[in-house]
Amino acid sequence: MSIRRIKALTKKEFIQMSRDIRSLMGVLFIPLLMIFLFGYALSLDVDRIPTLVLDRDETPLSRDLIHRLTDSRYFDLAGYIDTERKIDGALARGDALMAIVIPEQFASRINQGNAVSVQVVFDGSDSNTATIAMGYLKAVIAGFDTGIQERRLRRAGLKMVDMPLEGRIRVWFNPELKSRNFIIPGLIGVIMMAICALMTALSVSREKETGTLEQLLSTPISSMELLVGKLLPYVAVGLVDLALVMGAGVLIFGVPFRGSYLILLIISLIFLTGTLSWGLFVSVISKSQLQASQIAVLSAFLPSFLLSGFIYPIENMPVALQVITFIVPARYFVEILKGLFLQGVGLSVLWPQVLALVIYAVLILNLARKKFSKRIM
């Protein structure tokens, strides 16, 4: 390979980028736009659940139960109703996700030592939210029951017996259990996969349409020199994109980064090489920019979004899909980013994922080189 020819081609690519300011600004700011949109829109946290209350007892004890619900950050009082017939309409309109009905003689029956059933109705159209809300409700009711038992024993001159088993729970890596800390690192991997593949796919296909690529292929440049000269400018742009979305994740969304920046840089270079090479391969097999963009989106963004474990756990997928995820490079990059951001682990833990990215980069780079060789010949 000739370093002089690669340098000249790289310089030519940078000049071409600078002449197309709109495309360059799009490549730099679309990742930021995506991380803001997805970062704020995607959330697995369930709190402030709008709740309707039908209190037929209206006693201090029934109000205590209501206050236990609304004083937590998980339930928000959407209003009181006076009849059960209003529940269906409120849930259908989305005014509330849950309704609780406290029966008559609620306090008197509890004070007599009898069990009381409290009706709770959930909007099950969002099964995930309903399931989590049920767990929160059970915890609140358990605390309410414990308080009642403690008062009964105190009145009898007794005290609560300590439970034989006490669970002292600690959550590592994400103590506050913020879904944002889980989503943002994976989102960075998905964004980089989509943007990088699209960048090179559109760049080369644009040159094919204008005829400048044919002029370039008529020179003595080899396929490997052409490939490297095309990749280097976009590797630089990809690193800038990565720095921008990482900065947004850490500084704006408050996601902690506990790993090594040097390890991240090395792994990112490997990932960018494979992803950008895939974009070049797509550009060679495409006949137009429209076709290249469609193939890039279908082959890069959708598999990365759906099959990388970014949101949907891979182990919960059907076996056939789990097998397909092994050929999705974003799967490994997302795992690496989560390990670096939240756990602060190094290559001793991440080496299987790094090895998979190296294999992917080598295979796709070689595939793109062969396609370029055929086009030159």
Q: What is the pLDDT of residue 309?
A: 87
Amino acid 129: pLDDT: 83
- Tell me: the pLDDT tens digits for 221-261? 777 888 888 888 999 999 999 999 999 999 999 899 999 99
pLDDT tier for residue 38 given thresholds of 50, 70 and 90? confident
Handedness of CA 24, 26, 32, 38 (dihedral sign): negative
pLDDT confidence band for 39 (50 / 70 / 90): confident
Q: d(Cα 209, Cα 287) in Å, to the nearest integer? A: 8
Q: Please answer whether residues 206 and 296 qualify as being in contact, where contact means their C-beta atoms are separated by less than 8 angstroms.
A: no
3-class DSSP state of 355: helix
Q: How confident is the model at residue 102 (pLDDT cuts 50, 70, 90)?
A: very high
The tokens describing 85, both together, are: 């017939």
Whole-angstrom CA distances from 169 to 5, 143, 163 are: 61, 18, 16
Query: Where would I find the H helices in 211-301?
Result: 212-217, 223-247, 261-285, 289-296
For residues 318 and 307, what is the distance between their CA atoms, to the nearest angstrom? Answer: 11
Query: Between the ranges 45-59, 209-223, 287-301, 352-366, where is the mean pLDDT highest?
Result: 352-366
The tokens describing 108, both together, are 């008197």
* Domain parsing of the chain, residue ranges: 3-43+178-376, 49-155
Task: Write the CB contacts of 5 (distance below 8 Å, at least 6 apart in sequence).
Answer: 220, 221, 225, 229
**Mean pLDDT over the full length of the chain:** 86
pLDDT recorded at residue 219: 72
Of the pLDDT bands very low, low, confident and very high (cuts 50, 70, 90), residue 353 is: very high
Provide the CATH topology of domain 49-155.
abc type-2 transporter like fold (3.40.1710)
| Alpha-carbon span 48 to 67, nearest angstrom | 14
Residue 373's pLDDT band, with cuts at 50, 70 and 90, is low
**pTM to 2 decimal places:** 0.81
1-17: average pLDDT: 81
Q: Measured between alpha carbons, how far is 47 from 311 in angstroms, rounded to an integer? A: 19
**Tens digits of residue pLDDT in 136-159:** 899 898 888 888 888 877 877 777
Lowest mean pLDDT segment, chosen from 178-192, 200-214, 315-329: 200-214
Closest by Cα among 324, 236, 222, 180 to 14: 236
Q: How far apart are CA 377 and CA 372, in angstroms?
A: 9
Share of the chain above pLDDT 90, in %: 37
In what order do the strands lie in the sheet containing 98-102? 75-80, 49-55, 98-102, 119-122
Q: Which residues pair with 120 in a beta bridge?
A: 100
pLDDT of 361 > 80? The answer is yes
Q: What's the pLDDT score for residue 246?
A: 93
Structure tokens at 222: 């080899």
pLDDT (tens digit per residue) in 275-326: 999 998 998 888 888 888 889 888 998 899 889 988 788 988 899 999 999 9
Q: Looking at the predicted structure, is the pLDDT value of residue 78 above 70?
A: yes
Q: Is the pLDDT score of 377 beyond 60?
A: no
Reduced 3-state DSSP string for 233-245:
HHHHHHHHHHHHH
Strands 49-55 and 119-122: unpaired
SS3 of residue 100 by DSSP: strand
Degrees, nearest 5: CA angle 233-239-242: 145
Asked whether the predicted pLDDT for residue 375 surpasses 70, the reply is no
The mean per-residue pLDDT over the stretch 112-139 comes to 87
Q: What is the DSSP string of 3-24?
A: HHHHHHHHHHHHHHHHH-HHHH
pLDDT category, 28, cuts 50, 70, 90? confident
Cα–Cα nearest to 53, from 118, 110, 115, 139: 118
Q: Which amino acid is at 237?
A: V
